[in-house]
Structures are given as C-alpha cells and as structure tokens.
Amino acid sequence: MTSGHICFIVPPGVLIQLIDDGSPELRTSAVRTLAISERVRERRAVTRRLVQHQPQAAVALLLAPVGAKRTVYDVDHGSQGNLPGTKVRAEGDPEVTDVAVNQAYDGSGTTFDFYEQVFNRNSVDGQGLELVSSVHFETDYDNAFWDGSQMVYGDGDGQMFRRGGFTECLDVMAHELTHGVTQFTAGLRYRAQSGALNESFSDVFGSLVRQRSLGQTADQADWLIGEGIMGPELPGEALRSLKAPGTAFKYDNQPADMAHYVNLPDDGDPRHDNGGVHINSGIPNHAFYLAAIGIGGNAWEKAGAIWYTTLTARLSENSDFQAAADATVAVSGELYGAGGAEQQAVRSAWVQVGITPA
C-alpha cells in the first residue's frame, strides 16, 4: 500500500511555480512553505492507514475527547512538534481578541453544524470527534491543512496569500475538515484519480457549507474555493472554480473534462502533485457543478445528498472517476427515483465531462 498524505489547501504545484518564477523573496517564502509541508505529511498518512485498517489503534493518534464540538489553540508560530499549542477558546467561551481564533472557532462550528443538520452526521468521524483547530502555525506559513486529527492554519505571508485569509475563508475550513470525513469513510488514497476524488469531495462540500451559510441556491453561488485569500503575487479570484475549472487564478491549470486530463506520475515529486490530485479534481468538481445546476434549488439538498451517500457508503480507497460516476447515478436513482430528473441530471453531468456512467 502506498501512503496517504496530509491534504493541503494550497497545491504543491503552485509553490513550485513560485519557486521557478517568483522574486527572490517569494522563492524563499515558497521554499520554506513547501519544506514545512513536506515535514508534516507523514502523520496523516499513518492516521489514514490506521483508521481504515486498524481503527482501534487510530484512537491513540487522536486527541482525547472532551465532550465538546470544537476547541481552538494558539501554536504561537511553533511547528509540528508544538501542536496543538495553548488552548485559547473552548466550546461556549466568548470571543477573544485574536481574530484568527474566533474565525477558526466559528468556521469549525458552522461545518460541524452543516454535517449534523444536513446529513445527521455527528462530526467528521460520525461519532462526535472534537474539532480541534490550531492557528498561527509557523511564521508567514502559506497553507492550511487537516493532519489526520486536527486543523492547522498558517497566517499567510501577505504576498502569495493574504494575511489571515485561511481562517477567514469558510470554504477553505470546510474543505479541509471534509478530508476528515473522507478519512473516516471511503478513505480515498491520495494518488491519481482516487486522490483527485479526495480533493473534489472536499471542494464540493467546502462550497456547499459556504452556500448554505449564505442561503444561496445553486444558480446564485459563485462556486469558488478560496475566494479572497489570494495575495498580490497570485492574481485571481480564488484557488479553484467548480463552475469554470482552470480560470480561478494565474496558475490554475485544472481541466474541466477528460479530454484534457493530465496524466502525471505518482513519484513523490511535488511537481507531479501525487499524480495530479489537485489538477484533475477539476473534472469531478465540474461534474458536481453541472449536476447541481441541472437539479436546481439548494445544492446541499439533493445533489449534496447524492454525493454524501456516495462518499460515505459507496466508494473505497481505490475508487476512480468511473466508480464515482457509476455510484452517483445509482444513488440518485435510489434516493429520488430511477429515471427521474435528478438521475438524468447526474448522468448528463458526467457525460458532459467525458465519463459515461454504467
């Protein structure tokens, strides 16, 4: 079995581009962020393997439950060995003066409530796992990630990514926490198409958490991930777009269909993105967007239910795009009637991105 990986909101390819093309100052910042990210990958790999194959042993890697849905810590610019840091806001505590703490608290609570109220899921593991967040990780760190047991947020350097943007952006937080849902359900391996599906499900539910918080229907939503977090050296609207993959910012190279699928090796080279997990996720992302628009209404309702059931009950760690297409079409028929409008919309969406469901 190949190892899983910590899932970072900022793809390694973006950092590589800045190392290649950026100013000396940007190159230094990108190298530092990439190096830190490489050092923290293995914890999530171990946690994913244990959760999937030795769930009792996985408990030792998770923070002890305290009966609360969220707690926020300040790691005070420390590194992985300093996590989670000093507790600064527990469940039910009033706001503090640190904006990042309050944003992490609110965002994790909104995501917790989304899964509980929409899908009757008790936290990311389905069993009430406390959502732990640590803010101010490292110095000027340009990323945020789920490490297998908790959320970790850098502050951004103000050049690649806006300072404070990672905790301000709800869909970024929900995206990363959804990696936890995937970890405890399908366990999609972080390589090639299974890894692209892992990223796509996080983008889908990250967007849905934001849409529900804003009360937006599918046709009202902007379908962006990371809107507003981009710094002046990464011009663009956001990190990714489910509506129009490949258009979000300067280095966005996501395809929207299989005709433009990028075949990359999973060889450990950060340029190859674990076989294109952040790149080719644009294809299932666009399929979900098309399905949600075709079904209409609130995307977290019918379209979201189809994708949620597929993730949590139909896929396994090696599932590929074809498996996801087949499963979502089957689930849409089971939930809303074989041959119905919902199933037709889901089938049409996959066909439009170049995959014909069974």
In the annotation, is 301 catalytic?
A: no
- Relative to beta strand 131-135, strand 70-74 is parallel
Q: Which of 138, 176, 227, 342 is catalytic?
A: 176
For the chain, how many helices (H) and strands (E)? 13, 8
Q: Are 250 and 232 in contact (CB under 8 A)?
A: no
Q: How far apart are CA 254 and CA 341, in angstroms?
A: 29
CA pseudo-torsion sign 319, 120, 167, 139:
negative
Q: Which of 5, 175, 278, 286 is catalytic?
A: 278
State the alpha helices, DSSP H only, in the chain.
12-21, 24-39, 41-53, 55-58, 99-119, 165-168, 170-184, 192-214, 273-276, 282-295, 302-309, 321-336, 341-352
* Residue 36: both structure tokens together: 């830190």
Residues paired with 151 in a beta bridge: 133, 146
In the annotation, is 77 catalytic?
A: no
CA distances from 16 to 27, 162, 239 (A): 9, 19, 15
CA dihedral of residues 167, 171, 175, 178 (deg, nearest 10) = 100
CA distances from 220 to 76, 244, 300 (A): 39, 15, 13
Q: How far apart are CA 225 and CA 187, in angstroms?
A: 22
Annotated active-site positions, please?
Answer: 176, 278
